[in-house]
Amino acid sequence: MKTILMTGAAGRIGTFLRPELAGKYRLRLSDIKPIRDLRPGETFMRADISKLSDMLRVTKGVDAVVHFGGQSGEH
């Protein structure tokens, strides 16, 4: 089974997409905010996408990256 890294996984889109990918891929979830409700097949690694050292650490061994990380504001 392939491993997908999802950046910004604690946000709205990441939270919505996680159940859709569950069971099809191993999910490595990453965000600066903690994710406490991990499901089977999910792992969490805290990372700041603006720091190269964090990104090198969380991308090691993944097959693909789904990038939702970034600054957001209230609408």
Long-range CB pairs of 18-21, under 8 A, 24+ apart, other chains included: 18/42
Domain residue ranges of the chain, discontinuous segments joined by +: 3-67
Q: Which two tokens stand for residue 41?
A: 């097949």
pLDDT at 68 over 60: yes
Question: How high is the pLDDT of residue 73?
Answer: 63
Q: With bands split at pLDDT 50, 70 and 90, how would you rate the model's confidence at 69?
A: confident
Mean pLDDT of the chain: 93
Question: How high is the pLDDT of residue 71?
Answer: 67
pLDDT tens digits along 21-54: 989 999 999 999 999 999 999 999 999 999 999 9
Residue indicated by tokens 């996984």: 9
